[in-house]
Amino acid sequence: MKSLVISLAVAASSAAAQPPLELMATIPMPGVKGRIDHFAIDTKGHRLFVAALGNDTVEVLDLAAGRHLRSLSGFGEPQGVAYLPEWNRLYVASGTANRVDVLDGTSLSPVKRVERLDDADNVRYDSAARTVIIGYGRGALRLLKAESGAPLGDIKLAGHPESFQLDATAGRIYVNVPTAQHVAVVDPGKGAVIATWPVRAARSNFPMALDAQQQRLFVGARSPALLLVYDTRSGNLVTKVSIGGDTDDLFYDAQRKRVYVVCGEGRVDVLRQDTADRYVVEASIPTAARARTGLFADDRLYVAAPAQGSSPARVLVYRAH
């Protein structure tokens, strides 16, 4: 009995000492220079797609083997990517090329181009509506048919959209519009903005994540560096937490009740969600300078580290505990 108690105590102590994120692997991206933007994942095919904005390429990584597969060229500052498993299509939004490329998911060759989308940026896939949504221009969301890329119309906004999240339960889209200093609430059925929630506590609201079950929206701001938490029922700001600087991606881990904030100053802040309105910084995990974008999927946090000095561009792979 005594040995059982000791074993349980050691196990509890080990669990308590275990960091919330553990670095499992580093996948180099040879020859990739400049800024790296957003990711997409093909879970079944074990592929990660990385928008290498400063390199004008999309990098394809083999997650099962932990290696670089290939580099896709011909883009102009790719910013957003989305993989559609039902259609085996990869959508790539390019900022300076002002277009969206639709690629075949197997050959990764282009099958369609959607032109005249100035500063095409973030991409989201609404699987229920079979719609791809692109943030672009001085203020709009473009809706496209998922299977063909055919246009379904625009939803006008007050400024260029940064990160946005789809709330299937509420039938809404929440959009960061930093130049207007608000979050726009969009009803896609009406094709219009139905509300705006002011961002008064800080400026430069770029990344966003959603806890749909507890109806909380997480907004990352850079000036000052804060995580802002909104109640999606009322639109009210319920709390704010200091975070690291230069964030461009953040993610909600529903299983572990955590928020992961990827900060360009070289760390990931891990915030524990004690209640819907209470958040505590659980840890700050070191990454690399200017590593401010990533993706959380399948209990893994992928973080992009740009090339710097003798260090090549790479993706850092963390396992969530």
Q: What is the pLDDT of residues 95-147, one digit of tens each?
A: 999 999 999 999 999 999 999 999 999 999 999 999 999 999 999 999 999 99
Q: Say what percent of the chain tops pLDDT 70.
A: 95
Residue range 280-289: mean pLDDT, rounded? 97
Indicate the range of 8-12, 39-43, 258-262 predicted with least confidence: 8-12
pTM of the model: 0.94
- Of 248, 203, 193, 256, nearest to 20 by C-alpha is 256
Residue range 293-314: mean pLDDT, rounded? 97
Q: What is the pLDDT of residues 241-253, one digit of tens each?
A: 999 999 999 999 9
Q: Does the pLDDT at position 9 exceed 90? A: no
CB atoms within 10 A of CB 43: 12
Q: Over the chain, what is the mean pLDDT?
A: 95
Where does the pLDDT of residue 13 fall: very low under 50, low under 70, confident under 90, or very high at 90 and above? very low
List of long-range contacts for 274-281, beta carbons under 8 Å, 24+ apart: 276/211, 276/214, 276/215, 276/216, 276/238, 277/216, 277/229, 277/238, 277/239, 278/239, 279/227, 279/229, 279/239, 279/241, 281/241, 281/242, 281/243
Q: What is the pLDDT of residue 17?
A: 74
